[in-house]
Amino acid sequence: MTTPDTRTRIVAAIAKIAEVEPSRVTGAQRLREDLGMDSLGSLELLSLISEELKIDLEMEDAMDIVTVDDACAFIEKVRAEGERLVPQV
Amino acid sequence: MFPRFEPEVADDDARALLAEVRRFMRTVDAKAADDASGFPPAVLDTARSLGLFALTIPSAHGGLGLSLETACVVIDTIATVDRSLAITIGLHAGLGTRAVVELATSAVQDVWLPRLAAGTCVGAFAATESGAGSDLMAVRTTLAPSGDELVLDGEKSFVTNGGFAGVFTVLARSPALGGERAHSLVLVPADSAGVVVGREEKKLGIRASSTTTVRFDGVRVPRAHVLGTPGRGMDHAHDVLAWGRTLMAAGCVGTVRAALGATLGHVTTRRQFGRTIGSQPASREHVATMASKLCAMDALVRYVARQTDPRMLGALSPIAKVFCSEEAFAVCDQAVQLHGALGFLEPFGVARMLRDCRVTRIFEGANDVLLVRLGLARATAKESWSGAAMGAPSGARDLAARLDGVVDRLRARYGVNLVRHQTILQHLARAEMYLSAACATWSRGFTTFDATLVQLAVEDLLTRAGHHLDAIGPAEAREDRVLAITERLYGTPAADARPANTEVSP
């Protein structure tokens, strides 16, 4: 289950890309049909989350995300597998 | 036109149709139509009588039922004389009617397809809006239930055939039909109350074709006019666009045939410095390059148009669209250059060819956006590059392996953040595009073109593919400087500014 803070940040990122109020984003909403995000938008969302939460997200796993809940579960799964910092140069 | 460069078709009926089309096109005055910004009525009447509005409509509904490949050859042939007419007929054959053919109910098809086939009703596709061009998800036109009907409100821009269409396929948001941000395609008769067609746009090129705004003010349509699945309009639009892009690419091939033909006539007669300009080695290089581009464009369009799997057509049609639009502009530009001052004057025709093909890099998906999406598609693909299945020439397999290696490196380095590195994605897309064109040219070019020309074309394409893979490292190193320069030029931070990336490519 996603921690409240993580979920809040994910929802904020979704709201920013979908150009909707965060309060109108619900877990069951589909990124494409309900929030107007195509494949490009979905990747931009994950990129934003990756920067926000300082985690690496693999591209291959990102393509099966359909709903807001899917996005939260995916992020949480990555964190559970071992949170890694974005490489610093 | 030069007989050795004319497109060929397999069956006798199609060959007879092409012969009729060529005879018809000899009577069409493209310059006069361009000057008048419209066709004489007789031109469209004759086009109707030849069945040119029936190309892709099934024979069961009065159409010719041609395959996409054969329809492409017809559009190619028309475009060798008049690109505006090719756009008009090509739009009708693709975007203007495809959704009705594939997605409408049989009752709707029975009413509309015979009219569309006869050309008494011309089809148009209305998707773009002032705030939604490449970003179709941003369309604001709405489709909402009202009793037994649906009500359409909004305004569309740059609608080809808008000035004389009899029916529009419209992309609209339809929150009540599939989700808050879902979209639907709907068929709208042009004579419906509330449909307001704007004035004709004044354009750089394709001036004889019609381009207008269309406003829908509380237009009521039957629910049965929704095309395909309510709420899945964006997916349906992309399927329809696949046909539209392929037909557009075919038109580019026709323009290049004309530009090359005009150039050959000029360089073999115009004399400077005591010899024909065509005999100069530099001119020979240009002419051979133009011919090799024609060869590659023809082969790629044929390859793409033969795809029967909609997913393959959807994946390959943007490649054909970008490749052919760019090569056509390059060939026409070179044709103007080789004509010297005459190329810059309207009466000689090559200036109009250049103007006419400029829009092809913009509409049906702006090339920059398509390249980013193609690059992302390659970067996120689960399978490695499969172009070798087309029949790979020597050198292509090594390049394909290199392409896969670059994709692996970029994935490992950037993960999902690769989406922000658009220039890199575009280089990746171009590498794949030239590799695809090389393989298509190798597998199909020999049936139509001289073997030496095919080999030259393939070598050039593989070289270009390699250059774009080479360019990815330097592009990575340039990004921060490009960001800094544009921020100063814009005066305020760009909306998508990122923190400076201090990583340098090894």
| Closest in B178, B180, B416 to A46, CB measured | B416
CB distance B416–A35 less than 8 Å? no
pLDDT at A82: 67
Which residues from A are below 8 Å from B503, CB to CB? Answer: 87, 89
**For B174-183, B224-233, B408-417, B491-500, which range has the lowest pLDDT when averaged over its residues?**
B491-500
- Angle between helix axes B83-93 and B233-267 (nearest 10 degrees) is 160
Map residue B149 onto helix, strand or coil: strand
Out of B129, B364, B432, B479, pick the active-site residue.
B364
- B165-173 and B122-126 as β-strands: parallel, antiparallel, unpaired? parallel
Structural domains for chain A: 4-81 (1.10.1200.10)
CB B372 within 8 A of CB B252: no
pLDDT at B5: 64
* Across B308-322, average pLDDT: 95
Chain A residue with the nearest C-alpha to that of B180: A34
Tell which residue, B505, B469, B479, B464, has the closest CA to residue B422.
Answer: B479
CB B145 within 8 A of CB B138: no
What H or E segment, with its residue span, contains residue B160? Answer: strand B149-160
pLDDT in tens, B271-313: 999 999 999 999 999 999 999 999 999 999 999 999 999 999 9
Main-chain dihedrals φ then ψ at residue B267, nearest 5 degrees: -70, -20
The residues, ordered by sequence, that sit 6+ positions from B23 with a Cβ below 8 Å of its Cβ are none
Q: For residues B90 and B246, give the distance between their C-alpha atoms in angstroms, rounded to a whole number.
A: 10
Q: For residues B169 and B365, give the distance between their C-alpha atoms in angstroms, rounded to a whole number.
A: 17
> What does the DSSP 8-state code read for residue B228?
S
Q: For residues B61 and B95, give the distance between their C-alpha atoms in angstroms, rounded to a whole number.
A: 18
The length of chain A, given as a count of residues? 89
pLDDT in tens, A51-69: 888 888 877 766 778 899 9
Q: For residues A86 and B316, give the distance between their C-alpha atoms in angstroms, rounded to a whole number.
A: 35
Q: How buried is residue B269: exposed, middle or buried, by Cβ count under 10 Å (0-12/13-18/19+)?
A: exposed
pLDDT at B221: 98
- Angle between helix axes B281-305 and B422-444 (nearest 10 degrees) is 90
Q: Left, alpha or beta for B139 (phi > 0: left; psi -120 to 50: alpha)?
A: beta
Does the structure show a pLDDT above 60 at B76?
yes
Distance in Å, alpha carbon of B231 to nearest chain A alpha carbon? 7
Distance in Å, alpha carbon of B310 to nearest chain A alpha carbon? 18
Map residue B239 onto helix, strand or coil: helix
CB neighbourhood size of B385 (10 A): 21
Q: How buried is residue B12: exposed, middle or buried, by Cβ count under 10 Å (0-12/13-18/19+)?
A: exposed
The residues, ordered by sequence, that sit 6+ positions from B468 with a Cβ below 8 Å of its Cβ are B427, B428, B430, B431, B434
Q: B6 or B253, which is more confident?
A: B253
In the block, which residue shows the tokens 């005009």?
B262
pLDDT at A17: 84
pLDDT at B494: 56
User: Within the 354-393 window of chain B, which residues sit less than 8 Å (CB to CB) from chain A?
Assistant: 372-373, 376, 379-380, 382
pLDDT at B388: 55
Task: Confirm whether B346 is a catalytic residue.
Answer: no
B contact test, residue of A10, A30, A59 with most B CBs within 10 A: A59
Tell which residue, B127, B122, B120, has the closest CA to residue B184.
Answer: B127
Tell which residue, B367, B303, B372, has the closest CA to residue B329.
Answer: B367
> What's CA A74's distance to the chain center, in Å?
8
pTM above 0.95, yes or no: no
Q: Left, alpha or beta for B284 (phi > 0: left; psi -120 to 50: alpha)?
A: alpha
pLDDT in tens, B422-449: 999 999 999 999 999 999 999 888 888 8
Tell which residue, B469, B342, B493, has the closest CA to residue B404.
Answer: B469
- B418 reaches A (C-beta below 8 A): yes
Distance in Å, alpha carbon of B355 to nearest chain A alpha carbon? 32
pLDDT at B503: 36
Chain A residue with the nearest C-alpha to that of B138: A36
Q: What percent of chain B has pLDDT over 90?
A: 85
CB neighbourhood size of B198 (10 A): 16
- B195-197 and B183-189 as β-strands: parallel, antiparallel, unpaired? unpaired
pLDDT in tens, B79-97: 999 999 999 999 999 999 9
* Across B340-346, average pLDDT: 96
Which residues from B are below 8 Å from A37, CB to CB? Answer: 137, 181
- Angle between helix axes B233-267 and B68-79 (nearest 10 degrees) is 40
A contact test, residue of B141, B177, B181 with most A CBs within 10 A: B181
Identity of the amino acid at B123: G
Helical H runs in B163-280?
233-267
- A22 reaches B (C-beta below 8 A): no
CB distance B372–A40 less than 8 Å? yes
pLDDT at B2: 39
Main-chain dihedrals φ then ψ at residue B126, nearest 5 degrees: -120, 105
DSSP string, B267-288: HTT-EETTEEGGGSHHHHHHHH
Q: Which two tokens stand for residue B19?
A: 């012969």
Main-chain dihedrals φ then ψ at residue A14, nearest 5 degrees: -60, -45
**Largest distance between two CA atoms of chain B:** 80
CB distance B415–A50 less than 8 Å? yes
pLDDT at A37: 82
Tell which residue, B99, B88, B76, B98, has the closest CA to residue B122.
Answer: B88
Map residue B221 onto helix, strand or coil: strand
Q: For residues B432 and B300, give the distance between their C-alpha atoms in angstroms, rounded to a whole number.
A: 13
> A–B: how many Cβ contacts below 8 A?
72
CB distance A60–B234 less than 8 Å? no
Does the structure show a pLDDT above 60 at B4?
no
User: Within the 23-82 window of chain A, which residues sit less than 8 Å (CB to CB) from chain B?
Assistant: 29-30, 32-41, 43-44, 46-47, 50-51, 56-60, 62-63
pLDDT in tens, A18-37: 878 888 899 998 888 788 78
Q: Which two tokens stand for residue A35?
A: 């929030």
The length of chain B, given as a count of residues? 506
pLDDT in tens, B38-50: 999 999 999 999 9
Tell which residue, B406, B410, B409, B408, has the closest CA to residue B419.
Answer: B410
What H or E segment, with its residue span, contains residue B166? Answer: strand B165-173
In the block, which residue shows the tokens 């001036």?
B207
Q: Tell me the helix, strand and coil percentages in chain A, rounded to 5.
A: 55, 0, 40
Q: Which two tokens stand for residue B253?
A: 């091939």
Average pLDDT, chain B: 93
ipTM of the complex: 0.80
pLDDT in tens, B95-122: 999 999 999 999 999 999 999 999 999 9
Vertex B239 angle, CA B234 and B240, to 5°: 95
Identity of the amino acid at B151: V
CB distance B380–A59 less than 8 Å? yes
For B48-88, list the strands marked E by DSSP.
none
